[in-house]
Chain A
Amino acid sequence: MPKTLYDKIWDDHLVHEDSDGTALLYVDRHLVHEVTSPQAFEGLRIQGRQVRKPKLTLAVPDHNVPTTDRSKGISDKQSKIQVDTLRNNCKEFGINLFDVNDKRQGIVHIIGPEQGFTQPGTVIVCGDSHTATHGAFGSLAFGIGTSEVEHVLATQTLIQKKSKNFRVNINGRLPAGVTSKDVILKIIGTIGTAGGTGYVIEFAGEVIRNLSVEQRMTICNMTIEAGARAGLIAPDDKTIEYFKDRPMSPKGENWIKAIAHWKKLFSDSDAKFDKEINIDAKDIEPLVTWGTSPQDVSPITGEVPDPEKEKDKDRRTAMYRSLEYMGLKPKMKISDIKVDKIFIGSCTNGRIEDLRLAAKLLKGKKIASDVSAMVVPGSGLVKKQAEEEGIDKVFKNAGFEWREPGCSMCLGMNEDQLSSKERCASTSNRNFEGRQGRGGRTHLVSPGMAVAAAIKGYLADVREIN
C-alpha cells in the first residue's frame, strides 16, 4: 500500500497498538528544557522510576535565561531555581546537559539540529510546542505536556493516536522579498489557527524544495500555529549535506547506512492524503500580523481589516477585541503603524541565515531614532559564527543590541519584555495577548521585514530597503 512520509515514520516506530488504534510509539530523541521538565523528574523520583535511555535525551536551559552578561549567574531567583533544578536532575539521572555557560547552549530547537542530535526519520519530542521545527528534516517531531515528558523519560515511548494526513503544496517561485516566514504566515492565514487540528502537515512543492534547510525550519516551526500535530518536509540532498560531520551525526559505516534509510523517506507518488491544498508562490507578499492570532495576517501593502465586513459573529467579536488590544483602527494602512521595538531571534528566526539576511539589508544603515532593537542569536554557536563573519558589528553599528542566546522576548520569561502598549515588530511565532509582556503589542514579521521596520520606525516593506 502506498504510504505518506508520516505513515512511514509512524509505522517504523510502532511498539504496540491496541485494537482501538491507541499506539505506543518509540521516541528516538527527547529534548528537555528548564520550564516544562522539573515536575516530570519530580514524578519519577516520587514513583522511584529511572530514565530508561538517558543517552536519547539532551537538555538545555533556554526559556528563562538572561540574554545579558550571565557570567555572574542568574539574578532572578525563580529562574535560577529552575535552571539549577535542571542541572541537578540531569546529574541525578545521567542526562547530557548544555549548561548556561556552555558555548553550545541555545534554544532547544536550534541546538538539536546544530549538533546532529535531530536526525531524519526519527521521532522527536520535547515539552515545547515548537518541537514541530525538527520536521524540516523529515523527522516526526511534536510538542508534549509535562506528564508526557515523564512518560518518555520512564519508558522512551509515548501513547499516541495517529493523526490524519494533510499536504500543503507551495508551487512556483517566491517573489523578491518573500521568505519562508511569509510562506508559513500565508498558510496559517489561509487555513486558520485550527485548520491543521487533527492532522500532520507535509509541506511540498517547488518552493519547499528550493528552500535551504534552515528556511524550511521556519515553516515547520510554525505548523503548530495552524493547530497541526506536526509539520514534515521530506529530506533530500540538502538535508544529508546539512548533517554531514555534525558532532552527533552518524559516522563511518553508520553514516552510509543512515543515508540509505533517509533516502527512503518520502511520500509515495500515489499516497493518499486526507486533505490537500495548493498555494501559488506568486500570491505571497511580505506579510505582517495585525491582530492577536497568527492567522491575522495582511500584506505589508494592505490595511487593517474592518470587522464589520466579517460575517462570522464570533470571529467579528475576536477581531474587535484584537484591534482594541493592538490599539489599531479598521482600514488604517499597515505601513502607518509605528513601532517601538524590534526583536530578531527565536526558534522561528534565530539562525545564522536569518542573521545574515538581516545584516545584509542593514549594512551601513541606522535604526530610527525612536526605536530600540535587539538581536538574540538562537545559540552560542550561531552567535560565534555571526561574530566571525562580522555580523554583530553590522547590527551594533546600526543601533541594535547584540545579546546572549536564548528564547528571550519571544515569550518574555526573562527580563526581555514589552511594556504595556509598546509595539514590537518581532521575528517570533506568537502574537497572543500578553505574550511578549502584559499589554505588549506584537506584529509577527520575517527578519528582513524586522530590519525594514527598524530603519523606518514603522511597519515597512522590505522591498523598499536596498
Chain B
Amino acid sequence: MEKFIKLKSIPAHIPLMNIDTDMIIPKQFLKTIKRTGLGKSLFYEMRYDESGKLISEFILNNDPYSKSKILLAGKNFGCGSSREHAPWALLDFGIRCVISPSFADIFYNNCFNNGILPIIIDEKLIQELSEYSKRKEEIEVNLTEQMILYGNKKLTFDIEPAKKKRLLEGLDNIGLSLKKIPNIEKFENSMNKTKPWI
C-alpha cells in the first residue's frame, strides 16, 4: 500500500450529502476481478450521459478538477454497500483524500486499507475550503501534523493514532496480524474446549 504523508492539490467540491457507494461506482462495474481500472467509471451516472458522453457540468469532467487529489463532500459520504470498489475507483481516478463532515462506517475503514485519508471536519470548514476549490487554488493536507493548510490559514483534524500510523507507513494489516498467530492459536485452543460446536 502506498504511504500517505502529505498531499497538495486543488480540491474538487461535490456539495451533496449522503453520496452513496452506488453513486461512487455503480453495480455494472463490480463485475471485475481486479482492483484497478475503475477510475474512468467513478461517479459514472453523474459523469456520463446515457449515450456515454461526458456531462460537461460535472466538476470532475473539467480541468483542473479532473486532476484533483482531494475531494470535498457533504455529510455521510460513502453510505450504502461495503463494496471496496468505491475506494478503488477514487484511488484509480487519483483521489487520495476525502474531506467530509461524516463518513459511513464501512467506507471509512475501507479507505485505510487503500492508502486513502478520510478527514472529518465541521461543515463550516468545508465551506471555507470549497472557496479554494472555486478559485482553483491548492490546499495542502499534512497527515504527520494532522493539518490542512489553505491560504495563510490552517486547521487541525483528528485521526486515531493506529490508523494514522498505518497510512504514514503504508503498513500491511495482514502481515501485522499474522505476527499475532500465537494469540490466535491460544484463543482457538480455548474455544475448542468452551465452545466445541464452533
Contact = CB atoms under 8 A, between A and B. Distances in A.
Contacts of B105: 197-198, 227-229
Given A35-B30, A193-B79, A15 B183 contact: yes
Given A35-B31, A79-B31, A20 B180 contact: no
Contacts of B184: 15, 24, 26, 52, 155-157
15 contacts: A15-B187, A20-B160, A22-B162, A24-B177, A39-B34, A129-B106, A143-B106, A145-B83, A147-B114, A147-B173, A154-B178, A155-B180, A317-B15, A317-B16, A318-B16
B196 A257 contact: yes
A258 B198 CA distance: 9
Contacts of B123: 314
Contacts, number: 184
Interface residues of A, number: 76
Interface stretch (A297-305, A430-438, A454-462): A430-438
Nearest to B103: A197
A413 B183 contact: no
Contact of A194 (B28, B102, B174): B102
A150 interface: yes
A250 B188 CA distance: 18
Contacts of A428: none
A433 B20 CA distance: 9
B83 to A, nearest CB: 6
B22 interface: yes
B130 interface: no
B55 interface: no
Interface in A22-47: 22, 24, 26, 28, 35-36, 38-39, 42-43, 47
B82 A28 contact: no
Contacts of B74: 314
Max chain A C-beta neighbours (<10 A), residue from B32, B35, B81: B81
Given A145-B113, A155-B174, A229-B105, A433 B79 contact: no
Contacts of A430: 20, 22, 80
B109 A24 contact: no
Nearest to A147: B113
Contacts of A81: 31, 33
Nearest to A77: B31
A432 B31 contact: no
A78 interface: yes
Interface in A244-301: 250, 254-255, 257-258, 261, 293
B177 A159 contact: yes
Contacts of A42: 33-34
Given A28-B198, A257-B196, A432 B22 contact: yes
B45 A438 contact: yes
Interface string A187-206: 00000011001100000000
Contact of A413 (B16, B30, B102, B109): B30
A412 interface: yes
Interface string A306-349: 00000000110110010000000000000000000000000000
Interface in B94-120: 102, 104-106, 109-110, 113-114
B125 interface: no
A193 B110 contact: no
B50 A15 contact: no
Contacts of A241: none
Max chain A C-beta neighbours (<10 A), residue from B104, B105, B109, B177: B105
Nearest to B81: A129
Interface in A134-155: 142-148, 150-151, 154-155
Contact of B81 (A128, A229, A420): A128
A412 B35 contact: no
B61 interface: no
Contacts of A142: 106
A127 interface: yes
Contact of A227 (B31, B35, B76): B76
Contacts of B17: 314-315, 317-318
Contacts of B26: 434, 438
Contacts of B31: 35, 64, 76, 78-79, 81-82, 413
